Amino acid sequence: MPSREDTIRLLVTDLKRDELYFYNDNRCFEFVKANPENTDPLIVNEKVSAMNNGIIQSEHIPEFIRHLLTLPIDESLRSGDLEIVPRLSAVYPERPYLFRKMASIYCNFHRPEIYPVQTYIAEELMMLYLKKIAAHTKLPEDILPHLNFKRVSDHFIKTYDLEAFNYYELEKFLWLNARRIRDYFNDDDRDSRFTS
């Protein structure tokens, strides 16, 4: 029976080897690297279109871009300011979390080592992690705010020795292994699956 660490190491290796899941995103990373600034509406539109992949409805894209262009996003991205994600997400102040996925993805494509990707699957798994594994920690229970989501993600990374991942790779790992992770967290006898 393999250890939990060996199982995770194998999953990490498999993910990093399978470039099929990274091909389109790698092209997007290259475009962002070649065009790091976010002041030209045409460039920003190109980035949002490449990253969107159905995340936000097309009628909201112009509003998202206009909002993005009003923010000091380049300065924030350069400095690793974590508050830029919630500010970018708040296209509609009365619904500040509506664009959290797109905001976190946009920042992640610029700085994958700083900004976690806040997808619905990642949120579901982090909530399950909080409930089933990290229930007695002092982690925040509300993971919609990006800073809280980052704190819980960092705790998850540390607990399962996933430091080999940046946040982009972590999101892919969660997405590809969601069913297995969900099953593991929901199994009250989870520790018996692995050797010590």
pLDDT in tens, 99-149: 999 999 999 999 999 999 999 999 999 999 999 998 889 999 999 999 999
**Among residues 110, 132, 152, which one ends one of the domains?**
110
Beta bridge partners of 195: 3
Residues 106 and 153 reside in one and the same domain = no
Which amino acid is it at 178?
A: A
**Among residues 110, 131, 165, which one ends one of the domains?**
110
- What's the whole-model pTM score? 0.88
Residues 81 and 122 reside in one and the same domain = no
- Please determine, for residue 6, whether its predicted confidence score (pLDDT) is greater than 90: no
Beta bridge partners of 123: none
Q: Give the long-range contacts of residues 186-190, CB within 8 A, separation 24 or more.
A: 186/128, 186/132
**Residue-level pLDDT at 196:** 53
Domain range for 163: 4-18+117-193
Residues 59 and 124 reside in one and the same domain = no
Residues 76 and 39 reside in one and the same domain = yes
What's the structural domain count of the chain? 2
Residues 85 and 131 reside in one and the same domain = no
Environment class of 50 (CB within 10 Å of its CB; exposed 0-12, middle 13-18, buried 19+): middle
**Among residues 70, 89, 110, which one ends one of the domains?**
110
pLDDT band at 10 (very low <50, low <70, confident <90, very high): low
pLDDT band at 164 (very low <50, low <70, confident <90, very high): confident
Residues 103 and 123 reside in one and the same domain = no
Residues 11 and 34 reside in one and the same domain = no
Residues 30 and 78 reside in one and the same domain = yes
- Please determine, for residue 22, whether its predicted confidence score (pLDDT) is greater than 80: no
